[in-house]
């Protein structure tokens, strides 16, 4: 059968827009990762109460890009052997969201694995943002310092995400060889970036990921990139500068660095993380990869996606 749905998917599978990488992309990330490696976490964890008796929950703080205290929940199954080394999933939320409540991650404790859910700075959680502001912004957070790749919001949240993996790997209950980076939308983009730039995760799950093919997204999508579009409508002379900054964090330019198994999902009716943007990055991933396509889904992560992610982790972690 050759129907419109199959033709649409076939076209997307061949979609390979031109890269937007700057000549110093590798040098930028080598310097950035060297800085991150040497920066201490200064992490803390404190046991907290939860209504669910089958898990332990710890309130966590650590430092990522700067001295901002990033908040998170560390979840463990309660009935585990004292010397158990557990797989761990590190979870990044969508734009404007937060780490939520410890109970939101009970399914991982029921699976017998650890979970570490973190805030993205400045958004809807407990975490503030000490990033100095060098230029005027439009609504939201994305345009903070968007004219400078070394001080921009994307760099800050990227390093915060990488340091979250480092914190998880250092916990005595965690098997550092079985860590999954996972998220949806903004969190999916951070999961892909973590897969590309960190040696910590052994697998990654990126549901409807943002931070992909951002030059296309800024022109066409209804995502957080509309904030950058508003910025450029106000400062039209800054177009090249903004696109240059975004290119350093665009998964279309970083996907080839991924060397671990990756599960990605996409909705063909998604106006936020549009299918073109996701496939533009996915098609450049050279590692073991799989994409789950939902032809009639918009910008959402549903039960089927969640189940497939759990099955992916169970299979890859061999437990």
What CA–CA distance (Å, rounded) separates 9 from 245? 30
Unique residue bearing structure tokens 């080394």: 85
β-strands 69-77, 114-118: how paired? antiparallel
CB 99 within 8 A of CB 73: yes
Name the residues annotated as catalytic: 185, 270, 299
What CA–CA distance (Å, rounded) separates 135 from 33? 25
Strand-pairing partners, residue 70, are 62
- Chain centroid to Cα 225, Å, comes to 16
DSSP string, 130-174: -PPP-S---SSSTTTTTT-TTTSHHHHHHHHHHHHHHHHHTSTTE
- Please give the structure tokens belonging to residue 178: 């079985």
Q: Is 307 exposed, middle or buried (0-12, 13-18, 19+ CB in 10 A)?
A: exposed
CA terminus-to-terminus distance, the chain: 38
Nearest to 117 by CA among 56, 55, 184, 72: 72
Q: Would you say 95 is a known binding-site residue?
A: yes
Nearest to 76 by CA among 38, 115, 41: 115
Residue 18 DSSP code? P
> Using CA atoms in the order 201, 202, 205, 206, what is the torsion angle rounded to 10 degrees?
50
What CA–CA distance (Å, rounded) separates 302 from 265? 10
What CA–CA distance (Å, rounded) separates 119 from 214? 23
For residue 276, how many C-alpha atoms fall within 13 Å in the half-sphere facing its CB? 12
Binding site listing: 95
Binding site listing for substrate: 95
């Amino acid at each position: 059968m050759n129907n419109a749905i199959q033709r649409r998917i076939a076209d997307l599978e061949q979609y390979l827009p031109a890269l937007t990488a700057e000549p110093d992309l590798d040098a930028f990330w080598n310097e950035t990762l060297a800085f991150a490696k040497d920066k201490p976490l200064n992490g803390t964890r404190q046991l907290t109460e939860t209504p669910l008796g089958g898990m332990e929950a710890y309130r966590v703080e650590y430092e990522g890009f700067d001295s901002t205290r990033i908040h998170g929940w560390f979840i463990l199954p309660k009935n585990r052997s004292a010397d158990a080394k557990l797989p761990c999933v590190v979870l990044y939320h969508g734009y404007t969201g937060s780490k939520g409540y410890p109970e939101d991650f009970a399914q991982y404790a029921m699976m017998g694995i650890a979970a570490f859910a973190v805030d993205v700075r400045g958004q809807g959680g407990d975490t503030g943002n000490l990033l100095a502001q060098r230029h005027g912004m439009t609504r939201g957070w994305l345009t903070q310092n968007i004219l400078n790749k070394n001080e921009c919001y994307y760099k800050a949240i990227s390093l915060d995400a990488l340091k979250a993996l480092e914190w998880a790997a250092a916990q005595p209950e965690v098997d550092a060889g079985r860590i999954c980076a996972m998220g949806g939308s903004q969190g999916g983009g951070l999961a892909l970036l973590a897969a590309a730039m960190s040696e910590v995760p052994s697998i990654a799950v990126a549901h409807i990921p943002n931070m992909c093919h951002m030059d296309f997204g800024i022109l066409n999508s209804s995502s957080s990139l509309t904030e950058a579009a508003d910025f450029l409508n106000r400062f039209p002379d800054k177009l090249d500068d903004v696109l240059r900054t975004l290119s350093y964090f665009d998964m279309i330019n970083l996907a080839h660095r991924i060397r671990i198994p990756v599960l990605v999902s996409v909705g063909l009716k998604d106006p936020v993380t549009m299918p073109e943007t996701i496939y533009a990055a996915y098609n450049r991933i050279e590692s073991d990869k799989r994409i789950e396509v939902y032809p009639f889904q918009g910008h959402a992560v549903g039960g089927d996606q969640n189940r497939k992610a759990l099955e992916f982790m169970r299979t890859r972690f061999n437990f």
